[in-house]
Structure 1
Amino acid sequence: MADVCTHLDTIHDVTPSAEGCEDCLKTGGTWVHLRLCRECGHMGCCDSSPSKHATAHFHATEHPIVQSAEPGEDWLWCFPDQVAFELG
């Protein structure tokens, strides 16, 4: 596990793809928390959610960084480096 994220160059200003988890909204699923892909804007659900769409999006696209889309939270997670961080 890395101490720092080595994928900062993939972070972009993005527009969320949906008001909730894009995939859960399509299938009628439910989510616990939301994660925003900082490469393309895909809004997915966290790993505490039944379908884990944010992680599935990473595996399908290799987009490495998601940001918490929860109010009051500003942390990001890098899947390949397995590290949480905040932009300073």
Structure 2
Amino acid sequence: MTANCTHLDKAEDVTPSGQGCVECLASGGTWVHLRVCRTCGHVGCCDSSPGKHATAHFHHEDHPLVSSYEPGEDWWWCFSDEVAFKVPDSPTFTYG
């Protein structure tokens, strides 16, 4: 399934930027689910959240890959190719 994403070369060994959405924490906002940018480690909220900060980060920085920052989830998303997939043996991140 990873063959559908053409941006895996953008993935780096990252450390999540925090325990919550960077922008929501700064503004007092809330989130539904969290995503980690696999290029720089930015933690942003999902599109079900009011701020949609993970998508905004993609548009601002052109970092196409995120993964879930939720317990028990190990999927990735490529914004550019609009495809969800798993990367075997990739580190998973969970907050809390």
- TM-score by length of structure 1 reads 0.95
Q: What's 2:66 paired with?
A: 66
- What's the offset of the Cα at 1:82? 0.2
Q: How far, CA to CA, are the matches of 2:52 and 2:61 in structure 1?
A: 14
Between the aligned residues of both structures, percent identity stands at 69
Matched, 1:8 2:8: yes
Count, aligned residues: 86
Q: What's 2:54 paired with?
A: 54
Q: How far, CA to CA, are the matches of 1:13 and 1:85 in structure 2?
A: 18
Q: What amino acid is aligned across from residue 7 of structure 2 in structure 1?
A: H
Q: How far, CA to CA, are the matches of 1:24 and 1:6 in structure 2?
A: 30
Q: What's 2:35 paired with?
A: 35
Q: How far, CA to CA, are the matches of 2:12 and 2:61 in structure 1?
A: 15
* Structure 1 segments (4+ residues) deviating >6 Å: none
For structure 2, the 5+ residue unaligned runs are: 89-96
Q: How far, CA to CA, are the matches of 1:13 and 1:19 in structure 2?
A: 18
- TM-score by length of structure 2 reads 0.87
